[in-house]
Amino acid sequence: MLVGKIHRATVTEADVEYVGSITIDLDLMEPAGFLPLQEVEIWDVTNGARFTTYCLPGERGSGMVRINGAAAHLAQVGDKVIIAAYGMFESGSIGTGSVPVVVPDENNKLEKMLMYKVDPKTLEFRIEGLD
C-alpha cells in the first residue's frame, strides 16, 4: 500500500561511486512520511526508468535529491522523478486511508502538500489540496 510520495522532484546529483540509495532533503522526506533506510520506488519522468532503492536523509533545506550507486546510471541531474514509499498492512486494511503527497518546486522546496484519501467503507478515492 502506498504510504507516501514525492511528486516530480528534480535530481540534483547522481553519484555512481556512492554505496547505493537515494539521498533526499529532510524537508521533503519528513512531510512525505519517509524513514531513513525505507524502501522506495523511483520513477524517472524524464526518461521512463523505474528502479527500487532505499532513502537516506539529506541536509535539511539543501534541496538535495541525489541518486547514488548503480542507480545513478538511470537518472541524470535535472531529471524529474517521482519517489514513492510503500508499507504492508493487515489483509483487508487500507492503513490510515491518508497518504501524504509532497509537491516540490523547481528547487526542491516544498511548494504544495496534497493528500490522497480513501474512505475505508466505500473505497472512494479523492485528492485533497488540488487547486
pLDDT one-digit tens code per residue, 15-66: 999 987 999 999 999 999 999 999 999 999 999 999 999 999 999 999 999 9
- Beta strand 50-58 with 39-44 is antiparallel
Give this prediction's pTM.
Answer: 0.93
- Fold exhibited by the domain 2-128: Barwin-like endoglucanases (2.40.40)
The ranges assigned to domains in the chain are: 2-128
Residue 54 annotated in active site: yes
- The single residue of 54, 62, 86, 116 carrying the catalytic annotation is 54
